Amino acid sequence: MLKMYKPVNSIKEWEVKVKLLGDGKVDKLKNSVASRSPMKLWILRAITTALLWTCVIQLMAIGEMWGPRLLKGWPSCFSHPELKLPSVPAKVVLPPKRIYKNNGYLMVSCNGGLNQMRAAICDMVAIARYLNVTLIVPELDKTSFWNDPSEFQDIFDVHHFINSLRDEVRILKELPPRLKRRVESGMFYSLPPVSWSNISYYLHQILPLVQKYKVVHLNKTDARLANNGLPIAIQKLRCRVNFNALRFTSQIEQLGRRVVKLLRQKGPFLVLHLRYEMDMLAFSGCTRGCNSEEVEELTRMRYAYPWWKEKVINSEMKRKEGLCPLTPEETALVLSALGIDPNVQIYIAAGEIYGGKKRMKSLTATFPNLVRKETLLGPSDLKFFQNHSSQMAALDYLVSLEGDIFVPTYYGNMAKVVEGHRRFLGFKKTTLLDRKLLVGLIDEYNKGSLSWDEFSASVMEVHADRMGSPKTRVIIPAKPKEEDYFYANPCECLQLSDEN
């Protein structure tokens, strides 16, 4: 008979079972219980544990659905800390892709500064759409005076650019591998398109080249599409690219908003695009107020750039024709004559002013609250933008859009494009200076021929209708360079009053 080591209670239980079953079955029962009892206990514990966890999980699920209404006041063992889930960005709804037969690929190399390239990119998208070709993300100018190595994606949000226009034109970051190898081996056609061309030029001259060579490279893009005489769909597409698709990178946008916030904390502000910079003076040959050494330096620079075709320039004659940027001294007089509050904040949207603080002395004395991005931000904020003039210009562009008044001292590319963008944003006040009339008035005032009151009244009268108000674009047939620039007044995209 087997020896069973059991507690006392277990022995008594066995005695009862022996009486009920008989002696012959004792050994069999003992063996059966000895072999099965541990297994039954394990199974029972496993089932109990599973049931308990099922209950817990169900209770937690109920809590997720019904929240505090059911679980409020329940034991703390059923509660769990609130989880901070990462915020999920709103789903971006992309326009449907446009389905069309692709006629080939268009590569473009932009030339000039940021705003010259910006307008050119808008033109190239419109041309690609009209020709049913695939546009490769434009290459930016890296060889101009500014020598900026920035790529497209360093300045603009390239993903937004591609996706926001997918219902109009197919845009790729680079050529497909097979075509890329062909281009690397020189099997493509490159040319500068004719300036101020109608869309029919691209249809009849450029499209056949694309169909023949599969890849065409336009190596200059500034002012290559006409201001007027284009289908309304083309004009509206140019606006869509300019005001929606060409969004700056998040880094530039955030820093731009920060600058505007700092300015707004101290009240209204005027943005002065003071184009008295070395490159502008050398290019235009305008040397008013410069000493002999500075004149020589600017002349050397003009001869150093072969694509600046005008070399011998009469500075005084050019100034009287209104073709020179106003000097800081002239600017101080004009702003005062226009009645600008001397205590207003003036944000200088420009690069380094030629002559530095010495040349800014008169303007600073008249308007002491002059600020720049370099004075509003710390060196660490701008360290990624240093030596990248186009990215710095992008910051100035964003601030220029937000200013209560925008005043350019020269009617160049930035002045024109910002003017048009401010019109699009609700005809924000933009004071367009009539430099030809102004220099005459300034000279008369400096000679004593005009009193201050007479000078101020004349300046105000001249500019009463030059504040960026709604008006139709001036069209001069056969003289596209003299007519109003499309990007300065894209009236096809604006809400004009009936009388205009």
Interatomic CA distance for residues 131 and 168, integer angstroms: 11
Model confidence over 354-374: pLDDT tens digits?
999 999 999 999 999 999 999
Taking residues 25-40, what's their average pLDDT? 48
Token match 């005459």: residue? 440
- Considering only the C-alpha atoms of the chain, give the largest distance between any 2 of them, rounded to a whole number of Å: 142
Locate 342 and state its tokens: 């001397």
- Residue range 288-297, pLDDT digits in tens: 989 999 999 9
Give, as one character, the DSSP assignment of residue 219: -
127 has pLDDT over 60: yes
Q: Looking at residues 304-320, what average pLDDT do you find?
A: 92
How many CA atoms are closer than 13 Å to the CA of 220, on its beta-carbon side?
Answer: 12
Q: Helix-strand-coil percent breakdown of the chain, rounded to 5?
A: 50, 10, 40
What does the chain come to in residues? 500
Tokens 């496993």 map to which residue? 46
Query: What confidence tier does 306 reach under pLDDT thresholds 50, 70, 90?
Result: confident
HEC string for 221-250: CCCCECCCCCCHHHHHHHHHHHHHHCCECH
Domains defined for the chain, CATH in brackets: 104-244 (3.40.50.11340), 250-493 (no CATH)
Residue 275 or residue 18, greater confidence: 275
For 271, what's the count of Cα atoms within 13 Å in the CB-facing half-sphere?
30
pLDDT of residue 49: 63
Average pLDDT over residues 34-62: 56
Q: Has residue 344 got a pLDDT over 80?
A: yes
Distance CA 421, CA 64 (A): 49
Query: What are the tens digits of pLDDT across the range 64-94?
Result: 444 333 223 333 333 333 434 445 556 678 8
Q: Which residues have CB under 8 Å from 340's CB, separation 6+?
A: 270, 367, 405
- pLDDT, residue 218, reads 97
- 468-497 residue pLDDT tens: 889 999 999 989 999 999 999 999 999 765
pLDDT reading at 56 higher than 90: no
| Among 51, 100, 60, residue whose Cα is nearest residue 83 | 60
Q: Is the pLDDT of residue 171 over 60?
A: yes
3-state SS class at 348: strand
What CA–CA distances, in Å, run from 100 to 2, 133, 134, 351?
92, 9, 10, 44
pTM of the model: 0.80
Mean pLDDT, rounded, for 415-443:
97
Contact 135, 173 (CB under 8 A): no
Give the span between the Cα atoms of 359 and 373, in whole angstroms: 19
Task: Report the run of H or E that residue 154 belongs to, with start and end.
Answer: helix 152-155
Q: At what angle do helices 114-131 and 413-424 cross, to 10 degrees?
A: 60
**Token output for 186:** 């020189």
Contact status, residue 225 vs residue 126, Cβ threshold 8 Å? yes
**Given this model, what pLDDT does residue 289 score?**
86
How far lies 12's CA from each of 16, 206, 251, 327, 372, in Å? 7, 108, 84, 116, 99
Question: Among 408, 393, 386, 394, which residue's Cα sits nearest to residue 463?
Answer: 408
Confidence of residue 7 (pLDDT cuts 50, 70, 90): very low
- Rounded to the nearest integer, the mean pLDDT of the chain is 86
The answer to whether 389 and 355 are in contact (CB under 8 A) is no
